[in-house]
Structure 1
Amino acid sequence: MADNNSLVGGEFSLRQINDRVIIVQILVMIFVFINLLLITTFFKKECFYTTARYILFAVTLLSDSLLLFMSDILLILTFLDFTLQVWLCIIMSVVVLLYLTVTPVTLTAMTLERYVAICMPLRHGELCSTRNTINCILVIHGLSSVPCIVVLFTYFASASLSFYKHYRVCSVEMFILHRWQDHIRSAVHQFYFLMMCIIIVFSYVKIMKVAKAASRENEKSTKKALRTVVLHGFQLLLCLMQLWCPFIETAVFQINFRLFINVRYFNYIMFNLAPRCLSPLIYGLRDDIFFHVLKNNVFCCLFKRNT
């Protein structure tokens, strides 16, 4: 009787995991398709790739698409219990670890760009020129690579050379061989979390002060700007919470494996997929100029297909 119950429970658990993987595949395909559509729209008008906020928006779309694609591959490999040589897993994990941080850092840079545009309008053209924006993108990737480098260096310092030829299921936990590595990773992420929170809060307070002062002159645009600020803040909160997910999952893993699977699935949906579906809403569909070009792009594609 106990064997039958465990068998039924195992079949239910397997079916539940299958359903979850299918749901993730559908969501990832939808988000990647929307992002690719927005990226093609970005190149349709010259003002998009010569304006700082649109360039940074395109960076978030590219990084989100790449992260969704790579993390989905790792999810499928883990679901199939497919093992890879450690060196190959390291290469794939570098991309995931890097672009996990690129999006929140880019969003923080977009917040600073909005701060300059609203609070320092006379210097916006100088500070947010195309050249400075390209340099900013390089800085963003440099800053985002630090947590990845820390994780990999602590791993290289602990693992033997022969270990790289072993076959393992590819996951972040594979890089944590000792407890002190987890502490270092936690310290780096907490530092990033704190710095981005300070920048975001400072920028939003300044922006909202200017927006309230100008509300009598242009109430409609001010309300729209404040709604954008709220949505932007919510997206950044989800992205920043994502930095804490590995520590929560590590703690839960030591308690109960089934709970660990449930928590990891929730974190993936809530803090990986959800923030990446907000970018098209905040910076694509709610931007009048971008939405107009996007609408024309979609209609042109449909018209050509029908003809």
Structure 2
Amino acid sequence: MADNYSVVDGESLHRQINDQVIIVQILVMIFLSINMLLIVTFFKKECFYTTTRYILFAVALLSDSMILLVTDILLILSYFRFTMQVGLCIILCFMLYLYYTVTPFTLTAMTLERYVAICMPLRHGELCSPCNTIHCILIIHGLSFITISIVLSTFIASVSLSFYTQFKICSMEIFFVHRWQDHIRSAISQFYFLVMCVIIVFTYVKIMKVAKAASGDDKKSTWKGLRTVVLHGFQLLLCLIQLWCPFIERAVLQIDFMLFVQVRYFNYIMFSLAPRCLSPLVYGLRDEKFFLELKSYIFFCP
């Protein structure tokens, strides 16, 4: 009787996981399609790829698309129990971890751009020139590279050369041979996010003061910028919570495997997929100029 129950539970779990994988595939395809449509729209007009906020928006879209694509590949490989050489897995995870950090840095830069536009309008053209934007993007990737370099260095120091030729199921956990490595990664990431949160709060307070003092069209534009900052703050919060997910999942796994499956699925949807769909909402749909160009592109309007 016990064996029969275990078979039924196993079949139920497999069917449940199968349904979840299908739902994830649908969501990933939808988000990737929307992102690609927005990226194509970005290149349709010169005013988009010569304006700081739209350039940063495109960087965020490309970063999110890379995360969606790589995480989905790893999900499918893990689901079907496909193994790959550790060396190749490291390359995929390196890209994934890099862009997991690029996204929140880009959101912070977009928030600062809104702060300059609203609180320092006379200097906006000087500070947010295309040349300075390129420098900003390079700094974002440089700071993101620091974190993954530290993680990679501790990993290289912890394994032998033969480990790279082994075949394993690829996941981010492959980097963390020892528990202290995970703690170092988490400490660095949480320090970054603390700095980002301080910047978000600072810009929110400054823009709020300008919004209260503004009038007419300026007041409307300022409050719209304030809502944009709030949305960026919410995105950063979701990204921060994602850092804590592995610790939560590890604790739940020790209690119950079925609960672990549910929690990990929920975390992936809420803290990995959800932040990826907010960027198109913030600038793709809320920005009037971009939305009109997007609509004309979709409906082939001249």
* TM-score w.r.t. length of structure 2: 0.95
- Aligned residue for 1:97? 97
- Displacement, 1:148? 1.2
For residue 177 of structure 1, what is the amino acid of its counterpart?
Answer: V
Post-superposition Cα deviations, 1:282-304, rounded to whole Å, max 9, x if no partner, equal 10111110011101100118x9x
- Aligned residue for 2:175? 175
- Aligned residue for 1:68? 68
- Displacement, 1:240? 2.4
- Displacement, 1:217? 5.8
CA 1:215/1:240 → structure 2, altered by over 3 Å: closer, same or farther?
Answer: farther
- Aligned residue for 1:43? 43
Inter-partner Cα distance in structure 2 for 1:161 and 1:253: 31
Inter-partner Cα distance in structure 1 for 2:246 and 2:125: 40
- Count of aligned positions: 302
- Aligned residue for 1:131? 131
- Classify the secondary structure of the residue corresponding to 1:263: helix
Identical amino acids, percent of aligned pairs: 72
Which stretch of the first structure deviates more once superposed, 130-139 or 215-224? 215-224
Paired residues for 1:197-216 under 5 Å:
197-215=197-215
Asked if the contact 1:193/1:243 (under 8 Å) is kept, the reply is: no
- Displacement, 1:206? 0.8
Post-superposition Cα deviations, 1:27-84, rounded to whole Å, max 9, x if no partner, equal 0000000000000000111110010000000000111111100110000001111111
- Aligned residue for 2:232? 232
- Displacement, 1:19? 0.3
Post-superposition Cα deviations, 1:203-257, rounded to whole Å, max 9, x if no partner, equal 1111111112114564443443333333232222212222222332333334433
Which stretch of the first structure deviates more once superposed, 178-187 or 275-284? 178-187
- Aligned residue for 2:296? 296
* Coordinate RMSD, CA, aligned: 1.6
Asked if the contact 2:49/2:55 (under 8 Å) is kept, the reply is: yes
- Aligned residue for 2:278? 278
Inter-partner Cα distance in structure 2 for 1:131 and 1:52: 9
Which stretch of the first structure deviates more once superposed, 30-39 or 178-187? 178-187
Asked if the contact 1:152/1:175 (under 8 Å) is kept, the reply is: yes
Inter-partner Cα distance in structure 2 for 1:66 and 1:113: 24
CA 1:128/1:220 → structure 2, altered by over 3 Å: closer, same or farther?
Answer: closer
Asked if the contact 2:207/2:222 (under 8 Å) is kept, the reply is: no
Structure 1 gap segments, 5+ residues each: none
For residue 45 of structure 1, what is the amino acid of its counterpart?
Answer: K
- Aligned residue for 1:161? 161
Inter-partner Cα distance in structure 1 for 2:215 and 2:261: 48
Inter-partner Cα distance in structure 2 for 1:80 and 1:138: 37
- Classify the secondary structure of the residue corresponding to 2:168: strand
Which stretch of the first structure deviates more once superposed, 252-261 or 32-41? 252-261
- Classify the secondary structure of the residue corresponding to 1:300: coil
- Displacement, 1:258? 2.9
Inter-partner Cα distance in structure 1 for 2:227 and 2:191: 28
- Aligned residue for 1:258? 258
CA 1:180/1:236 → structure 2, altered by over 3 Å: closer, same or farther?
Answer: closer
Runs of 4+ in 1 over 4 A off after TM superposition: 215-219
- Aligned residue for 1:188? 188
Inter-partner Cα distance in structure 2 for 1:193 and 1:255: 30
- Classify the secondary structure of the residue corresponding to 2:299: helix
Asked if the contact 1:242/1:272 (under 8 Å) is kept, the reply is: yes
Inter-partner Cα distance in structure 2 for 1:212 and 1:285: 26
Inter-partner Cα distance in structure 1 for 2:260 and 2:151: 22
Inter-partner Cα distance in structure 1 for 2:219 and 2:201: 23
* TM-score w.r.t. length of structure 1: 0.94
